[in-house]
Amino acid sequence: MKDYLSLTCEEVSKLDREKTVFVSVVSPTETHGRHLPLGTDVFIARRVMEETCQILKKDHEVVKLFEIPLGSDAQPVFGSIWLSYGTFKRLIFEIGSHLAKMNFKHWIIFDNHGGPRHQLALAEASKKLKEKYGFNLVVPFLHIFQDMLNDLEEIKIPAGMNGDAKDLHAGTNETSLMLHVDSSMVRTKDLPRYFPSRETFLGKLLRFLKAESLAVTVDWISDQQNPYYLGDPSLADPGRGKKMIEYHVKKSVELFEEAKRGTYRPPKLFNPIVKLLLKLAK
């Protein structure tokens, strides 16, 4: 795997445009309870990227672009560092534009963050890069997150433990992932299950609009008792983390194959009313 920053411009100019794929980790610095590190999403995405590249490098020139430990809609609490939706979308679009103008065709972003405007920014940047330059920005986690919310059987992890709406953040799924990726970074998993007990007005409205995970997120971050996680860390185990990484890798390879065939498109994430609400929200 080549490192973009270590190459000269001449070496970059000689890269085979059909065979080269850029890869990056892009995921925010975010508070994950008191038991997981701020870089949890970054560490998980790094592992997925490494394993995916082991497969891709057999037939491609893989070039590692710089890592960006930032994104939008991190949990707005002490410790998190994030960008606004507009700033983040522009950042990704402008970097992609530079790659496209050098006639490259593929960039895969590895991520593990389900923040609504984070995902919207990535999906919209991907769509815009395709429309303007025919460039493929593939973001596997946009698809994987939808699969988690839908409790897809193929993931092979039961509902409530697979990062769905009952396990959204630093619960069973993410604690399991970190136990697999680097157990020395998990401070404890001896924590009670948490789920917001009160439904807010906005939460109810979002449920009415069929945006369940968003409704849960709003109720959660509005809760005075928010322990900075949502789910059940005590059920975490490294075997589940391994299974989830395997699913990420498999899906990443499949989506990249779609991009090569020219059929890759980011998923439609929200209905138009919810999208408008997200863009209006502070």
Q: How far is the CB of 145 from Zn ion (least distance, A)?
A: 11
Nearer to Zn ion, 129 or 191 (CB): 191
Q: How far apart are CA 250 and CA 106, in angstroms?
A: 18
Q: How many amino acids of this chain bind Zn ion (CB under 5 A)?
A: 2
For residues 41 and 167, which CB has a smaller minimum distance to Zn ion in the complex? 41
**Edge-to-edge strand order for the sheet containing 136-138?**
2-3, 61-64, 20-25, 106-110, 136-138
Write down how long the chain is. 282
**Would you say 40 or 217 has its CB closer to Zn ion?**
40
Least CB distance to Zn ion at residue 218 (A): 17
Q: Does 167 bind Zn ion (CB under 5 A)?
A: no
The residues facing 68 across adjacent strands are: 26
Question: Does residue 225 come out as left (phi exceeding 0), alpha (psi in the -120 to 50 range) or beta?
Answer: alpha
Q: Residue 120 has which token pair? A: 């919207």
Residue 41 makes contact with Zn ion by CB under 5 A: yes
Single out the segment in contact with Zn ion by CB under 5 A; choices: 39-47, 94-102, 189-197, 238-246.
39-47
Q: How far is CA 187 from the centre of its chain?
A: 23
Stretch that binds Zn ion, among 10-18, 33-41, 76-84, 124-132 (CB under 5 A): 33-41
- The distance of closest approach from Cβ of residue 217 to Zn ion in the complex, given in angstroms and rounded to an integer, is 12
Q: Which CB sits closer to Zn ion, 64 or 113?
A: 113
Q: Residue 102 is encoded by which pair of tokens?
A: 């050098």
The DSSP letter of residue 107 is: E
- Please give the structure tokens belonging to residue 20: 């080269």
In the complex, which residue's CB is closest to Zn ion?
41
Residues 253 and 55: beta-carbon distance below 8 Å: yes
Binding window for Zn ion (CB under 5 A); candidates: 32-40, 139-147, 234-242, 273-281: 32-40
Nearer to Zn ion, 41 or 232 (CB): 41
With respect to Zn ion, which residue has the nearer C-beta, 111 or 124? 111
Structure tokens belonging to residue 130: 């395709």
Residue 219 contacts Zn ion per CB under 5 A: no
CA dist 163 and 217 (Å) reads 13
Residues that bind Zn ion (CB under 5 A): 40-41
